[in-house]
A and B are shown apart, each in its own frame.
Chain A
Amino acid sequence: MFLKLKPSFYLLFLPLALWMLLFLVLPYTRVFIQSFYTIDDFGVLQPALSFDSYKRFFTKELYYFTLFKTFGLSAVVTAIALIVSIPLAYYIAFKATKNKTLLYTLIILPLWVSYIVRAYAWKIILGEEGILNSFLQFIGFIDSPISALLYSDLAVVIGMVHIYTPFVLMPIYTSFEQIPTSLVEASKDLGANRFITFFKVVLPLSLPGIITGGTFAFVLSLGDFLAPNLLGGSNTLFISNIFQNMFGTSNDKPLGSAIGIVLLVVVLFVLDMSSRAEKRYSSLNSDRT
C-alpha cells in the first residue's frame, strides 16, 4: 500500500490537525474557560474560577424558563415536521412510480435554497400588511388585519417547520426506500391490511430514519436564533437569543459562555441519546441488508 511512510502521514494530516486545533478546539475550550470568569463593573473579563454564571443561569427565572420554552417549541416543531414528513416520504417511496427522481429532487431543493429567503417568505406572508391578511380581507373573511400572525410563537413554529422539514424528509425517505418490498408483500400475503402493514412493518423498520430526522429538527431548532429574531417578536425568545445578547448588548461574556456550555451539553446529550436509539432500533433488523 502506498504512503506507508510516517512522514507522509504527518505531511497530509498536520495541516488539518493544526487548523482544527487552532480554529475549532481552542475556541470551544475558550468558551468553557470563560464561563468560569467574572466581569468587573465595566464589563471587562476577569480571570477567575467562579460558578457564579451557572448559578445565575439556573436561578433567574427568565433564563431557565426560556430554556424550557425553547425545549417545548423545538419539540412542537419536531413533532409537526415528523407528522408532515411521513406521508410525503411514504408517497414518494411507495406510491410514486414515474416521477420518483423528480419528486425526490423537489424535496431536497429547499435545502439548497437560502435560509434567509425561506424565513423572509413567512415575514411577507404573515405580516400585518402581509399577503395572508390582505388576501383574507380581499375575500371578505376578515374586516381588519390580524396583527398577531407575525411576531408570535406561532410564526416562529410555522417558519421553523417549513425550514427544517426537508431535513426530516431526507432520512425518512431514505429509510423507507431501504425497506425490501418483499417484506411489505409478505405482510400483505399473511393477511395484514395496509394499516397494520404500515404500523407493524414499515414504521418499525424506518425508525432509525425517523429518529435521525427528528433529531435534526430538534437540534436545529434548539440552536436557531435567526427565525425567532425575524419571525418572533420580543416575546418569543429562544435560549440562543439570550446567548447572543450576552455577547452583544448585555455584554456579559461569562454568563453568555455558561449558557453556551449548557446548550452544548444539552445538544451533545440529545445527539448521544439519538445515536443510541438509532443503533438499538437498527440492530433489531440488522440481518436485512
Chain B
Amino acid sequence: MKKFDALNFMTGFLAFAVMFFIYFPMLIVVIYSFNADTVNSFPIKHFSLKWYGVLIQNKTLLTSLKISALIGIFGTAVALVIGTMGALAMHKHNFKLKRFFERIVLLPITLPGILTGIAMLSFFPLLGISISLTAVVIGHTTFLICLVLTQVYARFKRLDPYLEEAAADLGSTPWQTFWKVTLPNIKTAIIGASLLSFTLSLDEIPVTFFLIARDNTLPIEIYTMLRRGITPEVNAISTIIFIISLIALILSVKFGERETKII
C-alpha cells in the first residue's frame, strides 16, 4: 500500500477545490431551475418543473432562440465556404501581404468584442446597412470566417504536401484532387470549426449588443431579462443551454478522438 503523502494530498485537494469553484455556480443554476419558489434562496422548499412550463409559454424567448439558431447556422455556413476557400488560397500561394493578412484575421478573435462591435456600429450605417438583424448576421459571419480560416489554415500547414502532388501525378484534375484528397484530409478540422463557430455565435454578446435593433438573440434576451430583474425562468433556460453545450462538447471530443486515431 502507498504511504500517505501530504504534498500529493494537497495538490489533489487544491485541484478538487478549483474544480468545485468552476462547477459550483453552474450546478446551483441547474438545481434552482427545479425550485418552485420565485426567490432563489436556501434551502429550497419545493421542487417543481413549473419554470420549464413558464419557459415554453414565453414566446419572446423562444423567438430569440430561433433567431440565434438561424444566425448561427447561416453564419457558420457562409464562414465555412469563405473561410475554407481563403485558407486554401493562403496555403497554396505566397503573396506580399500574406503576413499582414494573417494578423488581420486574428483581430476579431484576439481583440475585445466590444471594439469590433463599436467599429461595426460606426461603419455599417455608412454602407447602408442599418442596425438590424442583417447587421448582426454580417457581424457574426465576420468573426466566424476568421475562426474557420485560422483553424483550417492551421490544418493545411500540417498536411502532407506530397498527397496532393501524388494525386496530380496520377492524373487527377485540381477539382478532383480537392474533393478526393484535400477535403477528406481536412474534414475533421472543418467539422471542429463548424461546431465551434455555431457555439460561439449562439453565445456571442459584445458584437451583437451594438448591432441589434428589436429582435433579440437568445443571450441578449437573457441579458435583457436580467436587467429587468431576476426571473426564475432564466434558471430553466440556462440549464437547457448547459445541457446543449454538454452535448456539443461530447460531439467535438468524439470527432477530436477520431482525428488522432487517423494520425
Contacts and interface: CB of A to CB of B under 8 A. Distances in A.
B26 A118 contact: yes
A192 interface: no
Interface size class of A (residues with CB under 8 A): 35 or more
Interface string A62-100: 000000000000000000000011011011100100000
B26 A112 contact: no
B242 A117 contact: yes
B171 to A, nearest CB: 12
A95 B43 CA distance: 37
Contacts of B42: 131, 134-135, 138
A237 B190 CA distance: 40
A130 B235 CA distance: 13
A16 B85 contact: yes
Interface string A242-268: 011001000001001100100110010
B193 interface: no
Interface string B89-117: 11011000000010011011011111110
B11 A95 contact: yes
A129 interface: yes
For the residues of A in contact with B, the DSSP-based class is helix
Nearest to B139: A23
B28 A124 contact: yes
B165 A1 contact: yes
Interface of B: 7-8, 11-12, 14-15, 18-19, 21-23, 25-26, 28-29, 32, 39-43, 82-83, 85-86, 88-90, 92-93, 101, 104-105, 107-108, 110-116, 118-124, 126-127, 138-139, 141-142, 145, 149, 161, 164-165, 167-168, 173-174, 177-178, 199, 202-203, 205-206, 210, 219, 222-223, 226, 230, 234-235, 238, 241-242, 245-246, 248-250, 253
25 contacts: A1-B92, A1-B168, A2-B178, A8-B174, A15-B86, A20-B101, A23-B142, A24-B116, A27-B119, A28-B115, A31-B118, A34-B122, A85-B18, A87-B11, A91-B11, A95-B15, A105-B253, A110-B26, A117-B241, A121-B28, A130-B40, A131-B32, A133-B41, A225-B114, A225-B206
